[in-house]
Chains A and B, each alone.
Chain A
Amino acid sequence: MRKAILMLTIMFALPAAVHAGYRQDFENEFLSKTWAGFQMEENLCISCHASEKMKPQFRGITEAWQSSWHAQNNVSCENCHGGDPRDAALAMSPQRGFIGVPAYKDVAEFCGKCHLGILAIFRESGHGKSLLSGSVSSSCVTAIKAGKKAPNCVTCHGSHNIQKASISIINEQLCSQCHSYERAKVMKQALFLTEEKFSRIEQRLLELKRESINVDTEEKNLFSTQEEFRTLFHTQDVNLVKSRTDEFSAKLDQIDKNIQTTYQELRFRKNMSGFLMLSFSCMGIVIFLISRRNE
């Protein structure tokens, strides 16, 4: 047997000496083999933009995108800019739908490819009309005269490092670049209570997720309600927001009720397994004591 072990050791040791590899090689190979799936295929947009060849002002784009809400939701370069990130020759070809950087006026349409509901409402809003048809409301006159452009999506949301939208986007610093903050402040107040409910429910869903509960349905309901509600903001019509707040509040209450039911279920589970734990512990102790007494 000892000889067999010795032979086995030699069998492993000899090819090991021939099969020289290094940790880096191994890790590279380990993480880039075909089993890792298609997502490991190289994205040419990212590799090129992150490379030294790129002009410095374009190099930060990939990093900004990587920390964005879009990246977290698998929205990649080609989803907005078109092109083919897998084909070096045609990566930026119009044949593959490459758009590149849209004109300032076209940004709303550019984002609206996905955000359809918001685009429709934005077109009808003061911001949208100023941008798309050039009709200027009284509050915009001063800004336009001062050489400001009417706002598009990027003005408030940014371009590549787009974060999950929240009520904090409405702030004095941003709004007062073009007009007084007063009207935006009233809008923010109208949104406030409902937004607070949104964040409270989000927090509770996160807690449930940590408890390993699947909350897909509630998350989807919350997301669609939130999107619908925030779409309203793009009208910049405070009265509309106020009039529909009750409707959204009822929807949120329903989601909250479902969450409450899940919490009750969790409490029941805890009590039941706790009861089983105590039952088995007691039985164990009783048997142990009987066993000791009879020894």
Chain B
Amino acid sequence: MWNKIKSWLDVRYGTNAIIQKQIQEQILDYRIPKNTNIFYTLGFITVIAFCIQAFTGILLLLYYIPHPDHAFRSVQDIMTKVPYGWLFREMHTVGSNLMITVLLLHMVTVFLMGNYKRPRELTWLVGGLALIVTMTFGYSGHLLPWSQLSYWSTTVVTSMPTAFPIVGDTIAHILRGGDHITGTTLSRFFELHIAILPLLFLTLMGIHLFLIYRTGISATPFGKQDTESRPLTEYTRKAYPDGYPYYPDFFRKQMYMTMAYFAVMFFIITFFPALFFPPEANIAADPFKTPHEIRPAWYLIAQYETLRLIPNKFIGIALQLFLAVLFLFWPFLDTQAEKNLMKRPVLRGVFVFLLAAWVVLLFWGRT
């Protein structure tokens, strides 16, 4: 049957030749530098994580009702009445947090290995934008269950732009579709979550992969010197004739890391099923009853705490925007050839400080 289909397509469109050529070039002949480590697989894991999110999200859509009167009930029904609904919701929720974690880890390791440097500036920029889109995925999805947790953490998150003078209130107003979190906000976040963000993410992923393909993988784990000519005058794709083949060598690495990703996901679902569902997640949203502690999701806590800690609110929001811009455009500013972070004490110090500050703010905000 399969052969018949292949032959049917081949005699009409010559598909066999194209597929064989692509497999040969992209998989069998594609060579990976010998010094790659497991952190090189994190980008692939992010794509797998996105696929899991898309698959489980589509299944959840079968029963979810994006209306303030029904959203909470429909999610509870998914958890209790729909066969295996609990499994797919747990996978979706745990997966969303893991996806952000993996992407953060990917960015940190790329930074540590100096792989963001010329000629990969755009690859880093697109990856950074993908991280922002993924976080937006996270908090737009946070509202959809319409629980107390959803309602109030979205209230906090959508109030953060109000710290910005003049346009802050307008931004918050656009996000909420009014002054309060209402059905309009739910519709907007739902649309963002299932229609706009997936398209954006896929586009960014496409560009990211295209850029990686065109520049070639960077072979500079932990401090190998940059060998690219300066200034760059002509395009050359980084190739590794002495490297090992993508398939099966590197592919196996990607596969066992994928299995590890699934294992971690099911470990959390088995032993900490309520990790991302505090008691407020099981109470329907009530605009008249403010929970004792309102805080956003963990990946936005550091930003929220910064806003609370810095006395001048404009400085608070400006500092964050400044850091975000700096983070996205860092490869354009850091033009030094040295990729080994251990040989750059100032940059290392700033990096460790920022990472430590993020961790401290995260735990401070959660306690």
Cβ-based interface call for A55 (8 A)? no
- Structural contact, B313 and A280, CB atoms closer than 8 A: no
- Structural contact, B311 and A35, CB atoms closer than 8 A: no
Cβ-based interface call for A58 (8 A)? no
Write the A71-83 contact mask toward B (1 if CB under 8 angstroms, else 0).
Answer: 0001000000000
- Structural contact, A16 and B155, CB atoms closer than 8 A: no
Question: How many angstroms between the C-alpha atoms of A217 and B46 in the bound complex?
Answer: 39
Q: Which of B127-179 contact A (CB under 8 A)?
A: 155, 158-159, 162-163, 165, 172, 176, 179
Within 8 Å by CB of B181, from A16, A35, A212, A273, lies A35
Write the B299-322 contact mask toward A (1 if CB under 8 angstroms, else 0).
Answer: 000000001111111111011011
Question: How many angstroms between the C-alpha atoms of A67 and B355 in the bound complex?
Answer: 41
Question: How many angstroms between the C-alpha atoms of A283 and B163 in the bound complex?
Answer: 49
Considering only CB atoms, which chain B residue lies closest to A215 in the complex? B282
Cβ-based interface call for B332 (8 A)? yes
- Structural contact, A21 and B311, CB atoms closer than 8 A: yes
B181 nearest CB across to chain A (Å) = 7
Cβ-based interface call for B343 (8 A)? no
- Structural contact, B266 and A280, CB atoms closer than 8 A: yes
Question: How many angstroms between the C-alpha atoms of A37 and B158 in the bound complex?
Answer: 13
Question: How many angstroms between the C-alpha atoms of A14 and B255 in the bound complex?
Answer: 51
Cβ-based interface call for B344 (8 A)? no
- Structural contact, B259 and A213, CB atoms closer than 8 A: no
Interface stretch, picked from A2-10, A183-191, A240-248, is: A2-10
Interface stretch, picked from A44-52, A94-102, A287-295, is: A287-295
Cβ-based interface call for A154 (8 A)? no
Cβ-based interface call for A276 (8 A)? yes
| Residue of A39, A212, A213, A291 ringed by the most chain B CB atoms within 10 A | A212
Write the A36-73 contact mask toward B (1 if CB under 8 angstroms, else 0).
Answer: 11111000000000000000000000000000000000
Question: How many angstroms between the C-alpha atoms of A34 and B162 in the bound complex?
Answer: 12
A36-B290, A280-B266, A284-B259 known; A1 and B329 CB under 8 Å? yes
Q: How many residues of A contact B (CB 8 A)?
A: 51
Write the B250-274 contact mask toward A (1 if CB under 8 angstroms, else 0).
Answer: 0011011101101100110110011
Question: How many angstroms between the C-alpha atoms of A143 and B172 in the bound complex?
Answer: 65
Question: How many angstroms between the C-alpha atoms of A16 and B316 in the bound complex?
Answer: 9
Within 8 Å by CB of A277, from B256, B266, B319, lies B266
| Residue of B155, B252, B256, B290 ringed by the most chain A CB atoms within 10 A | B256
- Structural contact, B322 and A12, CB atoms closer than 8 A: yes
Question: How many angstroms between the C-alpha atoms of A265 and B176 in the bound complex?
Answer: 38
B5 nearest CB across to chain A (Å) = 30
Question: How many angstroms between the C-alpha atoms of A16 and B313 in the bound complex?
Answer: 8
Question: How many angstroms between the C-alpha atoms of A8 and B325 in the bound complex?
Answer: 9
Considering only CB atoms, which chain B residue lies closest to A37 in the complex? B287
Cβ-based interface call for A117 (8 A)? no
Cβ-based interface call for B235 (8 A)? no
Within 8 Å by CB of B260, from A209, A284, A294, lies A284
Cβ-based interface call for A30 (8 A)? yes
Considering only CB atoms, which chain B residue lies closest to A262 in the complex? B80
Within 8 Å by CB of B314, from A1, A16, A39, A214, lies A16
Cβ-based interface call for A270 (8 A)? yes
Question: How many angstroms between the C-alpha atoms of A36 and B159 in the bound complex?
Answer: 9
| Residues of chain A lying within 8 A (CB to CB) of residue B273 | 211-212, 269-270, 273
| Residues of chain B lying within 8 A (CB to CB) of residue A35 | 155, 158-159, 172, 176, 179-181
- Structural contact, B263 and A277, CB atoms closer than 8 A: yes
- Structural contact, B313 and A38, CB atoms closer than 8 A: no
Additional pairs, 14, CB under 8 Å, beyond known A274-B270, A280-B259? A8-B325, A20-B312, A21-B311, A26-B311, A27-B308, A35-B159, A36-B155, A270-B270, A273-B90, A280-B266, A284-B260, A287-B256, A294-B252, A295-B249
